Amino acid sequence: MPPRGDPGRGRGGAGRGGGGGGRGAGGGGGAPRGRGGGAGRGGPPPDRSGPPAAGSTALPEAHVQVVGVRRSGYGSAGRPITVSSNFFNITPPEGNIHHYDVISPSEKTLPARLNMDLVNHLMRVEAADVFTRPAVYDGRKNMFAPRELPLGPNGSQEFNVSLSDNANRGSPGENTAGRGPRVYKIRLTKVATINPEVLQRFILGQQSHDNTVLTALTALNVVVRMEPTMKYPFNVRSFFTDRETKDIGSGIVLWRGYFQSVRPAIGRLLVNVDISTGTMYKAGPLIDLCLDFLGRPGQAQLLSPKRGMPDRERIRLQRFIAGVRITTTYTGERVRKTPRVVKKLSSAGANSLSFTMRDGKTMTVAQYFQTLLNRPLRFPDNICVEVGTGALIPVELCVVPNGQIMRKQVPPEKTKDVLEFATMKPHDRLASISNGLAVLAYGQSQYVREFGMHVDEAAGPIKLPARVLQPPKLRYGQGSRQPTVTPSNGSWNMVDKRFFRPATIERWIVVIYERQQRFTQQSAQDMIDGLVQCSRDVGIRVNDTNPIVTWQNGQGRIADQLRQVGNECFQKTQQRPTLIVVILPENANDIYTAVKHFGDVTVGVATQCMKSSKCFRAKSQYYANVCLKINVKLGGINTIPDPQSVSILTDPRNPTIVMGADVIHPAPGSEGRPSFTALVGNVDSDTAKYIATCRVQTSRQEIIEDLEEMAKHILGMYMKYRQNFEKKTGNIAPTRLIFFRDGVSEGQFKEVLESELKALKAACEKLKINPKITMIVVAKRHHVRLFTTNPGDADRSGNCPAGTVVDQVVAHPVEFDWYLISHGGLLGTSRPAHYNVLYDDNDFQADGLQSLAFALCHVYARSTRSVSIPAPVYYADIVCSRAKNHYDPQGGLNLSDTATHTDTTGADSALEAYKRNFKPLHNNMTTLMYFS
């Protein structure tokens, strides 16, 4: 018979259990900070805050060690308002917590769900006398108990645990004919006793964030998560229930979930509760899941290679279902109740796959199962799944159990459905969070009770003081009826305004990839007229109102087509085009990438793509938005912050360079793909004109490898621009360097500080300059939300207004951080950006840095709205995501999100190939905002 796989080895519905406490409220993996000397500034200066809120404005004591910068005061600028946040007060345990190491000897890593079941079985059945009061476990290595466990004189003991098929004992396990249940060995060893007093001292700013604080926070997080993780599918910090679900097709069902994390705050301990969304595999027959994914439900014959199932579709399906746990529906002499994990799909049908039995007879998989079932398979031509060590099971005999989390990227065409399900208006979200407390059931959790903790659910979400900052004034160009404008709740308009520095369109060509029957000569002329008119309205000079227009086939070689049209332009005008406008049909990502590679990398000419559907009878507002992008691509500047309103950025005695850095990693499941890094910085004195550089590096490495070289390049360009373009005499070097870093989880602050700060200093040293550096991490992947308590304070979307800043109550007990909503709400609940100051040579005050960050959210060239993070960070994010445009579309590298290299040597050589084939930006584009 087919060889059998190893039971219970799947990835489990569980993901990694427990996980760090600390401030890690982030979906981005926020293990808490380690201890470090850091750059903390001395004792507390005079308090610059307004009237303190009770128990929330104490400053940390001078001896307390920090990773980043010690908080030295609170901001006071802006209009005060009161907001509520999705935090609830929690009291720490009274008694000591006992920490144990959990080791399963001779085991490779088991799924967290299986580990949880084994330890639960150990506590309730095998060693009930040891666990007279239940302990909590994180699914990996850590167990915490409210009293010391009697493990003998050495504080260590080994237990044998078997999961029997008795429903009353643990969870069902394998029970194969002729063998007893599988026995697992578990060793518990006492590691430490934790006194919760350290947490009390930490939140009062009297204790450094060391390992004892870290472990205590981890313990509390494991306590609050234990009850739900025993009942529901979970990932690191969230669990999901099927009370509210939505089938979005393609074999994916969305489940509403709840996130929870215990976090230290100023003078108190809080639990952060939020709603989250889980993507689950659709439960039921595997054959239905496969057909759903392929978009052909009910057409079972499509899974037959003989009947034309393309290999490409089989591989796509295999990527989707690899790792899914399945059970089998047939009964026979060997029944498996333990789910097994799909490794891959067979390339042939069940009646075309043969194997040799122990007695030497050869038979097909279809014949084998016909003997076992006493009936033929319904679809003998269909493919089989391969599980474990190579057992082949026909797809029709497999069932997908309920509640399996899909740990892969959601297909791009389903993103809209996920967003619709996840998006909730602010007060609906807050109500859902409050209702979620019933599911979390802290009061009923025996674990929370046993540890003597209490969550104050009756008091509801906490209320806290916030301030609404003044937005910067923005300056437009000559000829504007209103030369300066003050944004209102994060937005303004371009009516009767000219760009601060408009560009000129010398020669341009229009290349259309939509069919001519759909996008006719008239459509093209309307588009040209609309774009020319709008360009003139905003001050862009158009020297050529009759560009060459051509229709091309998107199946052809895009670069050759564009080059040919460029040559036509040259023959006609003796000049190369300075702008290529491309009209795209729907779903034309490949054409877009090829156009960008041609323009940005091959020939160095600005390209502007537009969707044909947007151009049909487009309003002037659409072309005005396109002009925002074209102007900066051609070297213009749309608007600048008024120097008076952001003196911290535009002080002529202190020339300031602002940088934004980001790293983007490959999608889950795509092994061997590299990570891409980007650094963006301003070159002008008004912090409005930015340039960028981009690199390839080791997959999933967060620290930017080439930061020194990248920073040297940007700093050199900044000084050249000041000297050659702004004609500055005297000191052309910056005296201040403000570095915003995106995408770093709190566990990596120390590493980023140590390696990236060193790289920035080395770059400055090589250029013989010595700016004072401020380093700030900007995080968006967290679960802190702010809600207005007075309806009159909300904007039209029901959110807190743009400029809402919070640096009290929910902020870090000892370090310099704040939350800022810098954008006006549109859909759903606005997410504040979380700023952490890691280093600050400039000795900025809270008010100064908060207003600087807010001002930089207004210089994003693509829109007339403020954005949610400072523009340089936003640009770095865009440059990272456009890194794939640096590869020749005709080259052989697969850059799709699902591309994967399985073996490690393959992955290493793949990285080399990605580095080798990464083409640098064309020299013409290095001084332009080509990424806008």
pLDDT at residue 33 above 50?
Answer: no
pLDDT, average across residues 487-507: 93
**Cα–Cα distance measured from residue 589 to residue 532, given in angstroms and rounded to the nearest whole number:** 26
Q: Taking all residues of the chain, what is their mean pLDDT, rounded to a whole number?
A: 87
pLDDT of the residue at 15: 35
- Quick check: 16 pLDDT over 50? no
- Specify the DSSP element, H or E, that contains 772: strand 772-779
Residue 549 reports pLDDT greater than 50: yes
Residue recorded with tokens 């979970």: 234
Q: For 527-554, give one letter per residue: b (16+ CB within 10 A) or e.
A: bbebbbebbebbbbebebeebbbebbee
| Extended beta strands in 57-135, E state | 79-85, 87-91, 97-103
Res 56: pLDDT: 54
Q: Is the pLDDT of residue 88 over 90?
A: yes
Q: Which of 164-178, 197-211, 260-274, 305-319 has the lowest mean pLDDT?
A: 164-178
pLDDT at 680: 98
Q: Residue 795: pLDDT above 70?
A: yes
- Tens of pLDDT, residue by residue over 380-411, are 999 999 987 678 999 999 999 999 999 888 88
pLDDT of residue 438: 84
Taking residues 210-235, report their average pLDDT. 93
Residue 869 confidence (pLDDT) above 80: yes
Mean pLDDT of 706-732: 93
Q: Of 52-61, 99-108, 180-189, 836-845, give the range with the top mean pLDDT.
A: 836-845
In whole angstroms, how far apart are CA 423 and each of 240, 243, 405, 811? Answer: 17, 17, 20, 25
The encoded tokens of residue 276 equal 């989250």
Q: Report yes or no: 702 and 744 within 8 Å, Cβ to Cβ.
A: yes
Q: Is the C-alpha dihedral spanning 297, 287, 171, 190 positive or negative?
A: negative
pLDDT on residue 408: 87
* Alpha-carbon radius of gyration of the chain: 30
Among 17-21, 203-207, 866-870, 927-931, name the one with the lowest average pLDDT: 17-21
HEC string of 653-696 equals: CCCEEEEEEEEECCCCCCCCCCEEEEEEEECCCCCCCEEEEEEE
Q: What is the mean pLDDT of residues 1-5?
A: 38
Eight-state DSSP code of residue 323: T
Locate 344 and state its tokens. 């891959």
User: Which residue type is seen at 1?
Assistant: M
Confidence of residue 288 (pLDDT cuts 50, 70, 90): very high
Q: How far is CA 478 from the centre of its chain?
A: 41
Q: What is the mean pLDDT of residues 595-620?
A: 94
Question: What is the DSSP secondary-structure string of 83-96?
Answer: EEESEEEEEPPSS-
- On the question of pLDDT at 32 being above 60, the answer is no
Q: What pLDDT sits at residue 870?
A: 97
Q: Is the pLDDT of residue 3 over 70?
A: no
Q: How far is CA 807 from CA 43, 56, 74, 920, in A?
A: 19, 10, 7, 42
Give the pairing type, strands 252-265 and 268-281.
Answer: antiparallel
Round to the nearest angstrom and report the end-to-end CA distance of the chain: 60
Residue 187: pLDDT band with limits 50, 70, 90: very high
Q: Given a cut of 80, is residue 136 above it in pLDDT?
A: yes
CA–CA separation, 705 vs 631, rounded Å?
33
Beta-bridge mates of residue 357: none
Q: Contact, 194 vs 99, CB < 8 A?
A: yes
pLDDT score recorded for residue 214:
93
Average pLDDT over residues 86-111: 86
* Among 164-173, 262-271, 576-585, the least confident range: 164-173
Q: What is the pLDDT of residues 727-757, one digit of tens each?
A: 888 889 999 999 999 989 988 999 999 999 9
Report the pLDDT averaged over residues 643-647. 86
Q: Across 333-337, 677-681, 890-894, which has the greatest mean pLDDT? A: 677-681
- State the pLDDT at residue 623: 95
With beta carbons less than 8 A apart as the criterion, state whether 38 and 137 touch: no
User: Stretch 43-47: mean pLDDT, rounded?
Assistant: 35
- CA–CA separation, 160 and 118 (whole Å): 10
Q: Which amino acid is at 62?
A: A
Q: Taking residues 233-242, report their average pLDDT.
A: 89
- Comparison of pLDDT for 296 and 37, the residue scoring more: 296
Using a pLDDT cut of 90, give the percent of the chain over it: 67
SS3 49: coil
Query: What is the arithmetic mean of pLDDT over 770-788?
Result: 96
**pLDDT value of position 222:** 96
What is the pLDDT, as a whole number, of residue 53? Answer: 40
